[in-house]
Amino acid sequence: MSDDEIASLPSEPTSHSDLDDDLTLYDEEYSDAEEQWKESIQQLELLLTMVIVPFVGKYLGRKCAYWGWTKFMEWKYPVEVALANQAVFRGARIFGAAASL
């Protein structure tokens, strides 16, 4: 080490109380950060269990029920539906929707 580097060092040795204060401050900051991290994880878990899982379950349940009902009806009543004119079908669907108002 050069003399300039040695001169820039503190002349008084650091006391143990200063080190203890620094460590206590570091521990407090660490515990605050850890507490905030746990709180954010808890909020994500609540979001997942209260919002996302029910919507996904509802969507998948309806898809599964629709698929199962379709398979059952095709088995029970084997009817084949063929649309000859798509434009007429769309017009009838729009007319039926407007008539229900």
The residue extents of the domains of the chain are: 16-99
Cα 54 to chain center, whole Å? 13
Report the distance separating Cα 71 and Cα 48, nearest Å. 32
- pLDDT score, position 27: 74
- pLDDT score, position 23: 65
DSSP-assigned letters across all residues of the chain: --HHHHHHS-SSPPPHHHHHHHHHHHHHHHHHHHHHHHHHHHHHHHHIIIIIHHHHHHHHHHHHHHHHHHHHHHHHS------S-HHHHHHHHHHHHHHT-
- pLDDT score, position 57: 93
| Termini Cα distance of the chain | 90
Identify which has the larger pLDDT, 94 or 2: 94
- pLDDT score, position 30: 77
Band of pLDDT at residue 11, cut at 50, 70 and 90: low
Token look-up 């229900």 returns 100
Tell me: pLDDT of 7 over 90: no
Q: What is the pLDDT of residues 30-87, one digit of tens each?
A: 788 888 999 999 999 999 999 899 999 999 999 999 999 989 988 998 878 776 777 8
pTM of the model as a whole: 0.44
